[in-house]
Structure 1
Amino acid sequence: MKIIVTGGAGFIGSHIVDLLAERGDQVVVIDNLSSGKKEQVHPDARLVQMDITDPGLVDLFEKEKPEALIHQAAQIHVNTSVENPILDANINIVGSVNILEACRKTGVRKIVYASSAAVYGNPDYLPLDEKHPVAPLSGYGISKHTVEHYLEVYSRLYGLNYTVLRYANVYGLRQDPRGEGGVVSILVDKYLNREPFTVFGDGEQTRDYIYVEDVAKANLAALTAGDGEILNIGTGVRTSLNQVLELFDEIASYQNNKLTGPDRPGDIKHSYFDNQKACSTLNWQPEYTLKEGLSKTYEYYQNKYRKIDKKM
């Protein structure tokens, strides 16, 4: 199968590309490299450096004639969406509609779209299932949800098939620990540099942490299943920040000298998914426990930091 992966040089996208290339698919990566890295693209995939808002996108699709598309490219930071909502909307909404138009005009059979738990906002009940009301608290959540509506409309008007995957808190290899990453990537950096990590509030806030390889496998499964569905991609396990810190202490054999800070206004206290619909629809199960995933992630960055230190 010939597949285009937008954002395929990035954190999650590059893992998806790896799996596709390893099973023998023809893969074309579209990435503007604003956060993705060339060296993360599998050698058997072809990288096209292009922005998803580029009007020339349809010409690329005409040339490549992909059967399917996995759409990972996005502005991913909540803070950026609040500070610069026009940028967020231009990338996440206008860029996605540009992709949909290219798909419509070139006969793409299926789109797998990366959405987010951010569409739900403050939970009315837990665990969050796909029937939970949508009430995003940021421009990022709004932009992610808006594209879900576009997908439904394009399916109804033009027969363009799709599956929406709403991600929980994804962590793992290639997530930038020195950038504006998730809490796990920030913790990796703090533990490796023996720097204190600041816990805001009591540390009992909970999330659903899912390893990146499990997310990549869900994307591959969605290429041939889950047509027209919205699916929560998480572990279904609620884990507190304090529990994550305990695991890091154990994995790193080092007790972090943690600092404490006040609760951050607007932070959601508890959030985790009901993933049963995704499991049954995609015939998929998350395989990594949190300890296994954190151990692989920590070891990866430990080796990477050692190589950086040797060069210096």
Structure 2
Amino acid sequence: ARPEIIFHLAAQMDVRRSVADPAFDAQVNVVGFLNLIEAARKYGLKRVIFSSTGGAIYGEQDEFPCTEDHPKRPVSPYGVAKLATEAYLFFFKVEYNIDYLALRFGNVYGPRQDPHGEAGVISIFCGKILDGQPVTIYGDGTQTRDYVYVGDVVRAVIAASKSRASGIALNIGTGLETNVNDLYSTLASIADFPTKAEHAAARPGEQKRSVISPARAEKELGWRPEKKLAEGLEETYKYFKQQRDRPS
């Protein structure tokens, strides 16, 4: 294979695991990236579209929503690894003239989601609801995230591959923050599920609030999010229900 462009989406994606085992996270997310780009640059690589993080890279925010210029203060090894990879991409651009765009995703969700990692909370909730089991919310549930639908993210990635923009990072989110309590309430309403959520101790490495501005992505890529959260949650729940209802 002699790829001219790489869409780098692979990762150790679990923030909690990165806190528990920082060396493993770095081995996968930093060393794994270096293995990939070092191999590819020898065979004509011209451009990388990198899936970074629009939450963990900023840490606890000072402004809501935050722009790409916000200080980078990651509070988890996962966020540190994403920030380090962006710095490596700059090095490879300067040293080898390999263009790149770093797309800092919000919490991506949607049909076919793998129910693991922080962004998997929606698919985890869907599974619990379909099983008729109570949902556990870690912490008081007031922690917020910027939930962006997978179809919107795909459009952003394709737009990035066609763009001439290079050497910058772009937030790919909605600019809207939703707390976990409200997220669960919306899903429970969609599913007509009356059981209240249970609460457990907050988990280490999790931010309190996270929401990112997509304004620069609109300027550079002509991209903006289209899917409303309630619509996306309904489509996601219907997908998991259909999967559950299929004959085995």
TM-score (norm 1): 0.75
The answer for the alignment partner of 1:6 in structure 2 is none
Residues 233 and 88 of structure 1, relative CA distance in 2, 3 Å threshold = same
Residues 97 and 263 of structure 1, relative CA distance in 2, 3 Å threshold = closer
Count of matched residue pairs: 245
String of CA shifts for 1:124-168, please: whole Å, max 9, x gaps: 222111001111111111111111001001101111000000111
1:1-312 to structure 2, matched below 5 A, reads 64-116=1-53, 117-177=55-115, 179-180=116-117, 182-225=120-163, 226-264=165-203, 266-307=205-246, 310-311=247-248
Q: CA deviation at 1:292?
A: 1.1
Q: CA deviation at 1:303?
A: 0.8
Q: Distance in 2 between matches of 1:216 and 1:254?
A: 31
2:109 partner letter: Y
Q: CA deviation at 1:93?
A: 0.7
Q: Per the alignment, in what secondary structure is the counterpart of residue 187 of structure 2? A: helix
* Structure 2 portions without partners, runs of 5+: none
Instruction: Give the share of equivalent positions with the same residue, in percent.
Output: 41
Q: Distance in 1 between matches of 2:15 and 2:144?
A: 18
Q: Distance in 2 between matches of 1:135 and 1:258?
A: 31
String of CA shifts for 1:235-290, please: whole Å, max 9, x gaps: 11111222212211221022233213344455322110111001111111111110
TM-score (norm 2): 0.93
- Does the aligned pair in 1 maintain the 2:16–2:204 contact within 8 Å? no
Q: Distance in 2 between matches of 1:243 and 1:90?
A: 36
Q: CA deviation at 1:227?
A: 1.3
Q: Distance in 2 between matches of 1:238 and 1:78?
A: 19
The answer for the alignment partner of 1:22 in structure 2 is none
Judge which range, 238-247 or 66-75, deviates more.
238-247
Residues 135 and 244 of structure 1, relative CA distance in 2, 3 Å threshold = same
Q: Distance in 1 between matches of 2:25 and 2:208?
A: 25
Q: Which structure carries more relative contact order (alpha carbon 8 Å, separation 6+)?
A: 2
Q: Distance in 2 between matches of 1:199 and 1:71?
A: 31
Q: Distance in 1 between matches of 2:34 and 2:175?
A: 31
Q: Per the alignment, in what secondary structure is the counterpart of residue 28 of structure 2? A: helix
Q: Per the alignment, in what secondary structure is the counterpart of residue 124 of structure 2? A: helix
Q: Distance in 1 between matches of 2:237 and 2:81?
A: 32
Q: Distance in 1 between matches of 2:147 and 2:141?
A: 15
Q: Per the alignment, in what secondary structure is the counterpart of residue 271 of structure 1? A: coil
Residues 140 and 251 of structure 1, relative CA distance in 2, 3 Å threshold = same
Residues 241 and 255 of structure 1, relative CA distance in 2, 3 Å threshold = same
- Does the aligned pair in 2 maintain the 1:165–1:232 contact within 8 Å? yes
Q: Per the alignment, in what secondary structure is the counterpart of residue 212 of structure 2? A: coil
- Does the aligned pair in 2 maintain the 1:172–1:297 contact within 8 Å? yes
String of CA shifts for 1:143-197, please: whole Å, max 9, x gaps: 11111001001101111000000111111112123x4452111111111111111
Q: Distance in 1 between matches of 2:202 and 2:38?
A: 43
Judge which range, 97-106 or 164-173, deviates more.
97-106
Q: Distance in 1 between matches of 2:140 and 2:32?
A: 39
